[in-house]
Structure 1
Amino acid sequence: MKLLNDWKLILLLCFTLGLAPFFPEPHLFGKIRWILGGAVGMEFKDYFDLLFHGFPFLLLLRLLFFKIVNTTTKPPQQ
């Protein structure tokens, strides 16, 4: 569980796996644009590829959410 809360590892995953391949454009951006265009012709492997490349960003959003919730719900210290 500690690996899922490691900021450095999550950011490394976002910049490497999340944005791979870097040229001509990251898969994640292409897949999102494809879905926004109606997802015509997308197959199971395309959705899996979107999940695979988007998972590091989901982990990052999870970390940000817990960070915000923990800072707003702490009782005031005396």
Structure 2
Amino acid sequence: MKWLDTLPLGLLIVAAIFLGLAPFFPEPHIVEKVRMLMNGTLHRPIDIFDLFLHALPIVLLLLKLLRMAMTAGK
């Protein structure tokens, strides 16, 4: 997972905040899409893609932080 090590942490933080939480009003898309997923109404391909698009920076940030924590002692 060297590609994850090469991603700048600052860039991932900015992407997670802006893309992960966009649009800020009335509610972030990711909140709406997760709610649809929990209710079983996430069926349209565009909605599934939208969930993936908005969740990807958050997932990458969490993976990078986890990897940094695991390799910190080495």
Where does 1:58-73 land on structure 2 (aligned, <5 Å)?
A: 58-72=59-73
State the partner residue of 1:50. 51
Please report how far the alpha carbon of residue 37 of structure 1 lies from its aligned counterpart in structure 2 after TM superposition: 1.1
How many residues end up aligned between the 2 structures? 70
* Higher alpha-carbon Rg: 1
Per-residue CA distance 1:42-65 (angstroms, 9 max, x = gap): 211100000000110011111111
| Superposed CA RMSD | 1.3
TM-score (norm 1): 0.81
Residue segments in structure 2 that go unaligned for 5+ positions in a row: none
Residue segments in structure 1 that go unaligned for 5+ positions in a row: none
Instruction: Provide runs of 4+ in structure 1 moved above 4 Å.
Output: none
TM-score (norm 2): 0.85
